[in-house]
Amino acid sequence: MISDKSLSEYIKGIPKAELHVHIEGTLEPELMFEFAERNGIKIKYKSVQELREAYNFNNLQEFLDIYYAGASVLLTEQDFFDMTCSYLQKAHSQNVIHAEIFFDPQSHTSRGISFDTVIKGIHRALEDGKTKFGISSKLIPCFLRHLDSDSAMETLKTAGQYKDWITAFGLDSSEKGNPPLKFQKVFDAVREAGFLTVAHAGEEGPAEYVWEAIDVLKVSRIDHGNRSLDDASLVEYLSREKIPLTVCPLSNLKLKVVKDLKKHPLKEMMKRGVMVTINSDDPAYFGGYVGENYMALADSLDLNREEIYQLVQNSFTASFLNDDEKKIMVTKAAEFNFDFNPV
Ligand code: ADE
Ligand code: ZN
């Protein structure tokens, strides 16, 4: 627990962006049961409590198995709409003013749910979030790296029809044994179609995968990137080229990417000039939304207010907003920072 009450109020209040959140990972157990009931789907757990108790993971794969099973209750456009609205409400309560949101099309199309159903539900909620809460957003479909590149290419073809709703494409799921290189052709096609690229790399996989994501997939950001610190020349490169890392502390702890948050690499990355940001990844599974992620790291790494402010500024700088939009949001954070006078 943070003992400095003013720091926790600062973290909660400051306007911020979230750049790494999987919308399927925001599906809270209560909502999962509600959707299962209305869709006539049986869940293997008897209660919300029993389901939450299953959220104990020894690695990424153990989590992914439960996460894909959880997503199977999502059938209709309304389900995707409701789930996204629920995330936006939570994000708004923590003063998130911009969110860049991942979704996993193949985890739905493989169950017979059309891409149109998925994206229409999410997009409509994002439009609502803009009107209701003033939250701006970007949408990033991710290719599942445990599947083959033909399946990814097919997904790109379908998704490409929604060019106005999509900003970038990402790469997620089981990292070990599925290097970025496997998706070279797909990412070439993604960029040729005019989209930006990001990729999960260096979460469980080696620093070499971070290099590959940069060199081969030409990503604008690395998702996670924890293992980058294993390679001094990579850290130097990330810092010099200002390639941001979207770091997810509670995810790292829950998936045993780090043993202890006190040993989390974020502070060392900051010290070495890497543009790091704090994010929630799959908040319904890892015990906290973006605010709790800031709080947990501030506590375990003893981050001060200046460091939190830097991380918040990074969240806008590293976003896919245009320069004018970034300026407006950075100014909002600066005004909050200036006005913040704890009693
Ligand atoms: N999909 C959802 N969360 C993920 C994570 N932390 N790593 C890889 N793929 C994911
Ligand atoms: Zn992720």
Q: Is 212 known to be catalytic? A: no
Cβ neighbours of residue 293 under 8 Å, at least 6 residues apart?
248, 249, 250, 278, 279, 280
Find the mean pLDDT for residues 114-134. 98
The whole-number pLDDT of residue 190 equals 98
Residue among 100, 203, 212, 292 flagged as catalytic = 203
Strand arrangement of the beta sheet that strand 136-144 belongs to:
16-22, 96-103, 136-144, 168-172, 196-201, 221-224, 245-247, 276-278
Residues lying with their CB under 5 A of ligand 2, a single-atom ion: 281
CA 332 – ligand 1 centroid, Å: 31
Amino acid (one-letter) located at 336: F
Q: Which of 72, 111, 49, 100 is nearest to 290 (CA)?
A: 100
Question: Which ligand has the nearest atom to the CA of 107?
Answer: 1
The whole-number pLDDT of residue 341 equals 80
Find the mean pLDDT for residues 176-197. 98
pTM for the full model? Answer: 0.98
Q: Which of 217, 99, 202, 211 is nearest to 152 (CA)?
A: 217
CA 150 – ligand 1 centroid, Å: 21
The whole-number pLDDT of residue 206 equals 98
Out of 21, 61, 173, mutate this one to test ligand 1's pocket (max ligand atoms within 8 Å of CB): namely 173
Q: For residue 1, is pLDDT > 80?
A: no
Q: Which of the four pLDDT bands, split at 50, 70 and 90, describes residue 342?
A: confident
pLDDT digits 0-9 by tens, 224-258: 999 999 999 999 999 999 999 999 999 999 999 99
Q: Walk me through the domains of the chain, giving residue ranges and CATH numbers.
A: 5-339 (3.20.20.140)
Q: Which protein residues are within 6 Å of ligand 1, measured from CB?
A: 22, 25, 60, 67, 172-173, 200, 203, 251, 281-282
CA 6 – ligand 1 centroid, Å: 33
Question: Which ligand has the nearest atom to the CA of 57?
Answer: 1
Q: For residue 4, is pLDDT > 80?
A: no
Q: Which of the four pLDDT bands, split at 50, 70 and 90, describes residue 343?
A: low
Distance from CA of residue 235 to its chain's centroid? 21
pLDDT digits 0-9 by tens, 83-97: 999 999 999 999 999
The overall average pLDDT reported for the chain is 97
3-class SS of residue 69: helix
The whole-number pLDDT of residue 2 equals 63
For ligand 1, atom 8: residue with the closest CA? 173
Find the mean pLDDT for residues 57-62. 98
For ligand 1, atom 10: residue with the closest CA? 173
Q: Which of the four pLDDT bands, split at 50, 70 and 90, describes residue 3?
A: low
CA 170 – ligand 2 centroid, Å: 10
